[in-house]
A = this chain, B = another copy of it.
Amino acid sequence: MYDERNLLLMTPGPVPIHPRVYEAMNRVICHHRTENFRKVFMECIELSKYVMQTENDVFILTGSGTAAMEAAISNIVEPGDEVICFINGKFSERWFEICQAFGAKCHTYSVEWGKAITPDIVKKAVEEHPEASIATICHNETSTGILNPLPEIAKICRENDLILVVDGITSVGGDYVFPDKWGVNVLVTGSQKCLGCPPGLSLIMVDEQAWEKIKNRKSNKFSYYVDLERYKKSLEKKRETPYTPAITLLFGLRESLTMIKEEGLEQRVKRHRLCGKALREGVKALNLPLFEDENYASNTLTAVSYPQGITDSQFRGLMEKHGVLVAGGQAHLKGKIFRVAHMNIIGEREILTTLATMELVLSEIGWNFEPGSGVSSAIKIFKNKL
């Protein structure tokens, strides 16, 4: 019964998708170099600007979030450029890997996975590397459940004239991200997380300062498929993408972004925050320790440590058997934590379902907890909108 089509996806992408989005995608294909499609495409761009809360350029690429990350680095970074990479998980580490691939001289500042990049660390990095011109960070570290304090970090970068490149793949559309207000220069996100669409599209915002850096390059740009100047030219001259886009997915994206606008970003963020809080309280009531530093807990993903006596294969295997898919740990956290995403159309019903199923699984395992405590703790949060 609980086969692959009938699992509640509490995973950080793909996420459960609203039937409206499926319906929007399930249509006869049309040609992309037509007025009708240009209209659809430009609606996607305008809605993306709303969801990203920006008046800067936004481009939509056909590719995963990593494609947009590469677009950021391959366009902005010149070989030899000094880049400060803040690392507190797998996805912030990816910035570092991409920067290396494109010839940057990287200065890494790492904190233990599960901890946040604090303004102190950023200040230290900036002081130690005054010649750096770019900094990279992951806003919401999906691998560890940490929301880094981006407003404070961006402020320091701005004051020190650093171009700040931000992975907002699991924050945009689920948490507050105000690139224009905060001074984020480049922001990337993907279609399959809080934007509520299947995977295959990624978005990138580029501000004026980042454009200056791109336009003043002295060296060859090792980039073609994600060459942002080509995207800008096509968009402004033709209202098109330079290469054939994933047409089907763009119809889905238009619908999912429309739904975000209908809900309203403010309300949507509040819902995500409430779900995060409810899940964390429920998890703690079940005597399971949060992995993430709760002071910087993500509002779109919760990471939980396995206590002695519960193995990953047992716990996640049983969760799946009962119809709920949660994610495991990545890299050195494999087998040590599990991760529950609460993105897109996840609401109180799904959080309660997940906690109730966890109670079933934990009782099967023989874990010591007070029956009903997980669900009740979450209900308390939902009821009082804490």
Contacts and interface: CB of A to CB of B under 8 A. Distances in A.
Nearest to A98: B224
A190 B32 CA distance: 15
A65 B222 contact: no
B249 A190 contact: no
A27 interface: yes
- Please provide the 9 A-B residue pairs with the shortest distance between their CB atoms, ordered closest to farther: A200-B246, A222-B222, A64-B243, A4-B36, A4-B30, A70-B225, A66-B243, A26-B26, A199-B244
B226 A225 contact: yes
A14 B200 contact: no
A5 B22 contact: no
A106 B285 CA distance: 66
A32 to B, nearest CB: 7
Contact of A222 (B97, B101, B199, B244): B101
Copies assembled: 2
Nearest to A5: B28
Query: A3, A6, A30 — which one has the most chain B CB atoms within 10 A of its CB?
Result: A30
Contacts of A26: 22, 25-26
A316 to B, nearest CB: 11
Nearest to A249: B200
11 contacts: A5-B28, A13-B244, A14-B31, A17-B29, A26-B26, A66-B224, A66-B243, A70-B224, A74-B222, A101-B227, A222-B222
B29 A198 contact: yes
Interface string A321-346: 00001000000000000000000000
Interface in A27-79: 27-32, 34, 36-37, 62-67, 69-70, 73-74, 79
A63 B245 CA distance: 8
Contacts of A30: 4-5, 7, 9, 14
Best-buried of A25, A74, A244 by chain B (most CB within 10 Å): A244
Given A4-B37, A62-B62, A248-B248, A97 B192 contact: no
Given A4-B30, A98-B224, A246 B249 contact: yes
A192 B244 contact: yes
Nearest to A219: B103
Given A14-B32, A25-B248, A247-B14, A62 B220 contact: no
A103 to B, nearest CB: 6
